[in-house]
Chain A
């Protein structure tokens, strides 16, 4: 039942026309969740599904999700990419069961219905019955049935898919400023260093809010301050796309081991006695040549690209019911990395992921909100840092990109 007293099932009653107030029931209302699956995840948005290199050769496929819908991405014989729902047209069983594989065709184990690499139905077991008895009516046509397809596009080695023909073209959807910042990091062939899967006890939107919230970074994540490793007010900013839903935040750090400078700084005095026993953790290089040491980028609704020093990762944020989320990290290096560079990235990987020095709090804080908003009724959060709008800002003490997310979400939900 809607908790907001509105007429439409799952509709949200927004306290204000702007996006400075987000009603808390949005995070635990099952009807909002169902409507969101239809309007956002199956709506006109491009969603990251895998890396192109994970389905490099003909017939290679990967299981993934678009929202909560199981989807398979596969490379066909001609090198093209296809994606379709992982759901047999006969009785709805999963057609692909493993995480990844290579196939010439797909066969549902339940009744042996078979599909080609484009998801077209190619055969139905015992279609003509046995000795002319049983089987399908003559009117049944294979070509009337296929696994529900998605449109697929590739950009910088990332594969995106959408159920909706109205999503437009991918680069237009991302916007020129954010596309440029995506290209900045994914500027050459990558190499997968490994995966993390993290399960969060909160609605997926709370994780996205957290990623877009540059305001929390220096407050919740005490690691850098504790070990005197970060400037309190480093240069940086937030870029928000025209649609509001995509963003990139960035910061610059002039030097990394400038201990003398920090000693005279205004960092919290109580922590002055701490230093890393092994400072190699933060050895890094300015590999993009622009002095930006952290860049966090999102593409609406649920894609994150992270550069924290030389730690590069993509994150796929998958809703698992109203109050749970799976966060899938694919941690990257580049094909041209030498052994030392790979070692450096692996050391820096201690900063990120489920046990990351500067990210582990993010696994918990969404749950604190999820539990905190129980019984909140029509109460709403107060999102006013940096004003009420969502224009790009030359400061990270702002919640502009969070408001931008809600603007994009409201538009897609029709609120």
Chain B
């Protein structure tokens, strides 16, 4: 199997486990999909395309991701809700032995406690990955969302 195909299969599996973790509310497991010093950033396509660095969430390293989850659990106040992610087949841009660059489209529906559901976020994951097979991790996951406007608040990672 060629490197690109291997990378695609590994990332498909990683993405599936990643969205399962978030959509089932097992947030404590979310930082484990990243390397220790990974970057996780949610940024609007508007900022991204203008070269503006501001993110909605901007975590440098797994410790900051863990802080996000602790705050979500114990500090921040918001109405109960959950996500349902739909992700596309990843497009592997480049696959080297030790690093993979890939993009995956996503849509997230947010479901509120009263049953109302809305298309909350859609865009692309721009990923840099290390490790192969089941050991693949995000060294960088840039969540570039197209729908500029965030409804109410964002507290669960995308």
Interface, chain A (partner B; CB < 8 A): 192-201, 220, 222-223, 226-227, 271, 274, 276-278, 280-281, 326, 331, 342, 346-347, 349-350, 353-355, 357, 360-361, 363-364, 367
Contact A195 B46 (CB under 8 A): yes
With A193-B52, A277-B64, A363-B153 given, is the CB distance from A350 to B58 under 8 Å? yes
With A355-B57, A360-B76 given, is the CB distance from A197 to B148 under 8 Å? yes
Collect the chain B residues with CB atoms within 8 Å of residue A227's CB.
Answer: 71, 75
Collect the chain B residues with CB atoms within 8 Å of residue A196's CB.
Answer: 44, 54, 56, 150
B151 at the interface (CB under 8 A from A): yes
Collect the chain A residues with CB atoms within 8 Å of residue B76's CB.
Answer: 222-223, 357, 360-361
C-alpha spacing A337/B155, complex, angstroms: 29
Identify which of B50, B66, B75 contacts A277 (C-beta below 8 A).
B66
With A194-B54, A195-B54 given, is the CB distance from A276 to B67 under 8 Å? yes
C-alpha spacing A367/B114, complex, angstroms: 14
Contact A278 B149 (CB under 8 A): no
Collect the chain B residues with CB atoms within 8 Å of residue A355's CB.
Answer: 42, 56-57, 150, 153-155
Q: From residue A68, how far is it (CB to closest CB) to chain B in Å? A: 16
Collect the chain B residues with CB atoms within 8 Å of residue A357's CB.
Answer: 71, 75-76
Contact B152 A364 (CB under 8 A): yes
Q: List 15 A-B contacts (CB under 8 A).
A: A196-B56, A197-B150, A198-B149, A198-B151, A220-B77, A274-B74, A276-B67, A278-B61, A278-B67, A331-B54, A354-B154, A357-B76, A361-B78, A364-B152, A364-B153
Chain A contact residues, majority secondary structure: mixed
Chain B residues within 8 Å of chain A by Cβ, number:
36
Q: From residue B77, how far is it (CB to closest CB) to chain A in Å? A: 5
B55 at the interface (CB under 8 A from A): yes
Collect the chain B residues with CB atoms within 8 Å of residue A350's CB.
Answer: 57-59, 64
18 more CB-based (< 8 A) A-B contacts, given A280-B60, A354-B153, A364-B152: A193-B54, A194-B43, A194-B55, A195-B52, A198-B150, A198-B151, A199-B149, A199-B151, A223-B76, A271-B74, A274-B74, A281-B64, A331-B54, A342-B53, A355-B56, A360-B153, A361-B78, A361-B153
Collect the chain B residues with CB atoms within 8 Å of residue A193's CB.
Answer: 52-54
Contact A346 B53 (CB under 8 A): yes
C-alpha spacing A277/B69, complex, angstroms: 11
C-alpha spacing A281/B66, complex, angstroms: 12
Identify which of B52, B60, B79, B150 contacts A354 (C-beta below 8 A).
B150
Which residues of B, 115-156, contact A by the 8 Å Cβ criterion? 148-155
Contact A360 B74 (CB under 8 A): no
With A223-B71, A278-B64, A346-B58 given, is the CB distance from A199 to B152 under 8 Å? yes
C-alpha spacing A276/B64, complex, angstroms: 8
Contact pattern, B 35-54, Cβ under 8 Å of A = 1, otherwise 0: 00000001110110010111
- The chain B residue with its CB closest to the CB of A368 is B79
Contact B44 A353 (CB under 8 A): no
Collect the chain B residues with CB atoms within 8 Å of residue A349's CB.
Answer: 54-55, 58
Q: From residue A96, how far is it (CB to closest CB) to chain B in Å? A: 17
